[in-house]
Structure 1
Amino acid sequence: MNFEEILSLPIDQASFCVLDVETTGLSPQYNNIIELGIVRVKNYKIVEKYHSLINPGRDIPNFITGFTGISNDDVYNAPFFDDIADEVTEFIGDDVIAGHNLSFDKSFLKREFNYCGRSEPANPNLCTLKVARRIFPLLKSKSLGSVASFLKIKSSSSHRALGDAETTAKILIKIAKHVKKNFGFETLSELVNFQYTTASRINGANLKSKILCEFDSLPDAPGVYHFINSKGHTIYIGKAKSLKERVRSYFSQTAPRKAKKIIKSASKLKIELTNSELTALLKEAESIKTKNPRLNTQLKKYGNKYFLRVNTAHKFPDLEISNHFDFDGNDYFGLFGTKKKALSMFEMINKTFAIRECSNKDFAKNKRCFLADIDRCLAPCVSKEKEIYTNELEKVYEFMYGKNQFALNRMINKMKEYSAKQKFENAQEVKEIIDLILSQTHKTSLLAEPVNRANVLFEINETFTRDYVLLLSGKIYVKKQSMKERDFFEDAIDDYFTQTIHTDMLPNEEDLEKMKITLNWLIKNRNKVRCFYLKEFNNKEELYRKLTSSSTRYSLPEVTVFNLKILAGQQ
C-alpha cells in the first residue's frame, strides 16, 4: 500500500510496529544500538514480537550495563545491525512505526541503516509521547513509566527494549481507543496528524480573542485556585505551579471529563498567590480539609504515613517499618506516603547491606541464620563485632541520606561475581536491585540526619520572593508573608534557641501530612532549596545573618476573583 492508502485506514484496521532500542549512549552520532525490540499491534491487540541483541562493535559503558543489565559478554556473539537490517525491514513492512519519544529511537535506526548502506523505512510515524502531551495535559510527567502508571498498565523489564516496546504498545492501544471515543477519530490519518497539533491550537480552538485576553490577565505564578458556584459555595480547590496555564487547561477541548464538570458547575474563580509551588501544596491540603469541596476526592482525609525505624536501643540495631513517629530514642527515616514505597526501600536496604533482619528473640539464640550463610547478614548474634556492625549501619544511614554510590558499586560487583560463576538467576535478582537504586537517585532524602533529629530551615527560591519553611521537632512552620496572620514560624525559632519545651511535643496527623508534602516536594526540587541546620547556629540573629536578605517582590494581589462566564466566553 502507498502512504495515502495506509493513512486512510480505520484506526482499528491499521497495523503498528511499536519499537524501542537500548544504546551505548544518548547521541546517535557517537553511539550504537545494543538491543532492538519490536511489537506489532493490530485491531487493538499485540499479535507479534521481534527481539535481538546487537553487537555495537564497541565496548558498552559500565553505567549502561548497570542501567540495562546488558554487558559486553551478552553482545559478543550477537549479530551486527548489518546482519539483521533486512529482517527488520521485512518485519516492519508497511506498518506505522510507533514509539514513545520516537525521535530518539528513529535517530539511532537511521544511523544504523545508513551505516550499512541502506535507507531507513519511510513509513508513517506515531509518537505516543506527543499524543500523550495532547490528551493528558494535566499529567505532570509524560515519561513512559508515568503514562503507563496513569493508564494502569503494568510495565515489566524496564530499560530493556522488548519490555519497553510492549509497554508502549499497550499505551498505544489505550490511546487509540481514547481518541476514537473522546475525539471521534476514525482514520489513521486523524490520529497521526493529531500528534502535530500545537498546544495553542488545541487550547485556543474555541476561545475568542476576548477570552484569551482574560486568560492573559491570570498570573503566571504558583498558587491555589477555588472554583465557586452561584450560591457562593466552593466546589473544587486545586493548586498550580502556573495559575494561568492550569486554569487555561480547564477550558481546553481535551480537558478531562471532571474538569468540564467543574467548569459547568462553577461561576467564579478565586485565586490565592503563593511564593512557591510548595506553599501552594500546603495551602491546598489545608483548604480542602477546612472547606470540604464536593468535587475534591483527594486530600480530604489524612493519608497513611510510614517511616523506616532504626531500633537504636539494641546493641545491634535492626530496621523495621513503622506507621508511628515518636521521640523515643530511635531514629526515623521517611516519610513514605504508602506502605509499598516504605517496603521497597526496606527490601532494598536489606538486600544491599548486611544488617540483621531477625527478631530480638531469634537474635538471643546466638545461632547463625541462612542470611548469614549467603552473606546477607554480618551475624552479630555470633560474632559480637560491634565496630564492624556499626560501620555497616553507618553505610545504611548514608544511603538514607541520599548517598547511593557505595550501594551501587557493591551491587554491581556482586552482579559481576554471580555472572562470572554463571549464577544468572542470582545476577538478575541483583540487577533488579540496581535498577531500584538507580530509580532512587534523585528521590532519596534531602535531610542529612534522621527526621526525629532534623531541625532545619529551608530557603526556597522559586518565584516572586523567597519562601522559608521550618522543620522543627517533626512539625512544619511556614514564614507568613501577610501581616494579617500570626507568625508561628518566628515563635518556633525563638523556642528552639531559648530551649523552650512544650507539652504537646509530638506532631499530630496534620503535622505529619505537612511533613510528607514538604519533604516530597523538597526532594524533587532540591536545586531550588538551601538547608540551614539550626544546631550549627548559636542564636537566631546568627542564623538570619546567614540567610540571603535581598528578595524581589512584585505588587501582585494575594487574592483575586474572576468571573468564569467571561473566561468561558458566555458573555
Structure 2
Amino acid sequence: MDTGRRPGAAQLAFDELGTPLRDITFVVFDLETTGTKPGPDGITEIGAVKIRAGEVVGEFATFVNPGMPIPPQIVELTGITGAMVYDAPRIERVLPAFLEFISGAVLVAHNAAFDTGFMRAACEGHGYHWPKTAVVCTVRLARRVISRDETPSYRLSALAALFGARTTPNHRALADARATVDVLHALLERVGNLGVHTLEELLDYLPGVTAAQRRKRSLAEHLPSRPGVYLFRGPSDEVLYVGTSSDLRRRVRQYFTGSESRGRIREMVALAERVDAVECAHALEAAVRELRLIAAHRPMYNRRSKNPRHAWWVALTEEAFPRLSVVRMPRDGMLGPFRTQTDARSAADTLAGASGLRTCTQRISATAPSGTPCVLAELGRCGAPCAGLQTAEAYRPGVLAVSGLIAGTDGRPLRAAADQLARLSAAEHYEQAAQHRDQLAGLIRAVGRAHRQSALAGIPELIAAGPDGNGGWELAVIRHGRLASAGVARRGVPPMPVVEMLVASAETVLPGPGPLFGAIPEEIGILLRWLTRPGVRLVRTTQPWAEPAAVAGGWQEWLDLAASATALERVAG
C-alpha cells in the first residue's frame, strides 16, 4: 500500500501535528535603554540573533541615538556613553531594518515584556507596525522549568552560569542576546523531555492559558498556512475581531495559548464560535484588506481603524478675507489629513501666525474702508491686528502663501514660522519658544505627509514589485491611492506576464474628490510604507511619482534636532 511518504521523510507523530520547534525561526533579541519606561525614544542599542534548528543563521547589532542624555547610572551599568551613540542612527531609521530582520520569526527575550514594550512604543511613536507574532519569555519559561533549588535567581547572568553559556552577559545588547540563545536552547531541551515538541505546546506550557482557550484551538485547524486576514465571529455570526498574519493558521492558534495575555482578547476568544479567513497574495494585500474589513464591520474588539475616513482637514474659507478653518469633509486645496481636531487646529494656528491670516471668525466685508475696525475690535473683544484694518490687496499675499504651501510650491510660511521661533529664543521666551517649536514640527510633518499621500493618490496607475525573500516578487497594482490588485511571481516565474494578468483583472478605480482623490488616508499610508521598503521597484507608472522638494522636503534635519530637544526636555522635566 502506498502511504504517500517520501523516502527518508520522518512520519509526524500526533504530538507533532502543530509546528515542530525544529522548523521554527526564532529571533532572540535584547535592548539597552536610557530607563525603564517605554516610549518612542530611549533605546541606545539593539542586539539580535536569528536561530533555526539550533543553528545561528544571522545577527543584528547597532547603537541607537536615543534622542536624550543617558543617565549616569545607566552609563555605569552598560558602559554605553553619549559619545558612543552620538553619531548612531535614530530609532526611526533603525526600525525598518530590524522589522525586516524579525519578519516571520518567533521573538524571544529575557523579560520579554520590557523589550517588546520598548519596541512596540517605538513603532507606534514613529508610524511603524509592530508585528503580531508569538513571543517567548525565557524568564517565564525558566520559572516553569527550573526550581529554586537549582538557581537562587532567574536573572540572565545566573541562568547563563547554570547552563554554561558560551557568552557571558554584560548588559550589552548583542552579548546578552547570544547568552539568551544558549539559555533558550537549554530550556527547550528540558521542556522537550516533558513532551513539549511544537510551538503551540511551548506556548501552552507557559503560565496563563485556560482550559477553555485550549478547547477552542480546533477553530484554527481548517485555516491555511498562508498570508491573509482572519475574522473571529460570535454566536450571532457577528464579526468580533479582524486581524492579519503572514501565516493564518499559526497566528490564530496563538489566541488559544498562553502567549495571549490581553484581557479583552481573551474575552473575545471566549465568545468566538467560528474563525473565517481571507487568503491574500502577500502581507501588503492582507494589511489593506484588514483595514477595509475593520471599516466595513466595525468589530467591537478592534480598537483602531473603525472610521478610516473620519479625518480632519485645514481649509481656507471662501470669503473676502479668508481665514483657516478646521473641517471634516475634504476638498481640493486643503491641508491634511489630521487624526484629531486638536492637531488640525494647532497646525492652522501656526500657519495663520506665520502668514498673517486672521484667526477670528467675524465676517468682514470686502468693501469695508481701509482702517475700519471689525465689529469685535469695536466692542473691545479683540485687540489683535485684523483683516478689517487693511485692504484686500494687502491681505492677499498671505492667502497666496498658504495656498502655495498646501499645493507644494511655496515654503515661505514655514520659514516665517522658523523666524518667529528664532525671535522668541533670542528674547529668552524659552517656554513659549518650545511650544512654538513643537507646533511648527507638527505642521512640517503634516505638510510632508499631505504631499506624499496626495502625490501617490494622484497617479492613475502605478505597478510595483518587492522581493519576497525567496527569489521571487510580490506585485501590487495601485490606482489613485488604492490597492487595485495583488499577486506574486515565484522564483523562476517570469514576472511580466503575471503583471499583465494582474493589470487586466485589477479593480477599476475612479478618482474621487479632495486632495486624496477619494482614497482612505490610512490605506495610502500602508501603501507608502510598502513602496519605500528596501528593494521595492517601480515596474511602470502612468505618470511620474514625484513629491514637492522645496516645501517640507528640506526640513528633516531640523525635525531631528527638534525631536532631540523635545526628548531632552522630557527627561529634564
Q: TM-score range by the shorter chain?
A: 0.3 to 0.5
TM-score by length of 2: 0.47
